[in-house]
Amino acid sequence: MKEKILAVIVTLVLVNVPVAWSEITPALSIEQHGGPAYPGTVQTHGWKFTVNEDVQVVALGIFDYEDDPTYAPGLLYPHEIGMWHDGELIISTTIPAGTDTLLVDEFRYVEIEPFWLDAGETYIIGNDSLGDPLVGNTASTSISTQLFITYERTLYSPAGSGFVIPTIEQDLYYFFGPNFLVIPEPSTLAILGLGIMLIRQRRNDPKSQ
């Protein structure tokens, strides 16, 4: 009986996935980058931003340089990622190694319990830098953000500090890694749509069979 109910739910959501997915968007996009950067120590890299309108976060993600011939597709190592507000960690999760995650525009995402970012508030997002390449700092690197946030500054933590709040300011986007998916307006269907997209990708990934 449970399997029949689940089948009905999945069928209903799949029918509406195009509408649901259109409501979910990355906060930041990399327009162009000059290649990967390879951190030489375990520390946290991220960025600070101010929220311009209330938005709901549904997934956290990390940059995956798919074009790097040095590595196979996917992440070599798991990475901790989180978001801070007023110096306190408010959400965190782990992006697993491999390809069993949702890939959107060179970022691999893990679904989280949805939570709200408040308009007018400033937040920091960061991930640890163990092993995998991040975005390199070159003159050609450029990013864009959605209108609901304002990018403030790229940040990092001291060498060897591990996963901690990044507070040291740096120019441009050197070792740029984390991102997140949001819903500008509340939508249960959009969240379900994200879940179905993750299921679809896992089913199509031979490594997850």
Residues 208 and 163 in one domain: no
Residues 39 and 72 in one domain: yes
Residues 167 and 138 in one domain: yes
More confident residue, 30 or 88: 88
Residues 99 and 159 in one domain: yes
Residues 47 and 123 in one domain: yes
Average pLDDT over residues 14-38: 64
Residues 88 and 16 in one domain: no
Q: Examine the pLDDT at 86 and tell me if it is beyond 90.
A: yes
SS (H, E, C) 40-103: CCCCEEEEEEEECCCEEEEEEEEECCCCCCCCCCCECCCEEEEEEECCEEEEEEEECCECCCEE
Residues 181 and 191 in one domain: no
Domain count, the chain: 2
Contacts 24+ apart (CB under 8 A), 139-143: 139/34, 140/32, 140/33, 140/34, 141/30, 141/32, 141/33, 141/34, 141/172, 141/173, 141/176, 142/30, 142/31, 142/32, 142/33, 143/28, 143/29, 143/30, 143/31, 143/173, 143/176
Residues 3 and 53 in one domain: no
For position 170, which CATH number holds?
A: 2.60.120
pLDDT-derived band at 205 (thresholds 50, 70, 90) equals low
pTM, two decimal places: 0.75
83-95: buried (b, 16+ CB within 10 Å) or exposed (e) per residue?
bbeeeeeebebeb
Average pLDDT over residues 107-123: 95
Residues 41 and 75 in one domain: yes
Q: Examine the pLDDT at 89 and tell me if it is beyond 50.
A: yes
Average confidence score pLDDT of the chain: 77
Residues 38 and 17 in one domain: no
Average pLDDT over residues 79-102: 95
Would you say 47 and 134 are in contact if contact means Cβ atoms under 8 Å apart? no
Domain containing 5 equals 1-23+187-209
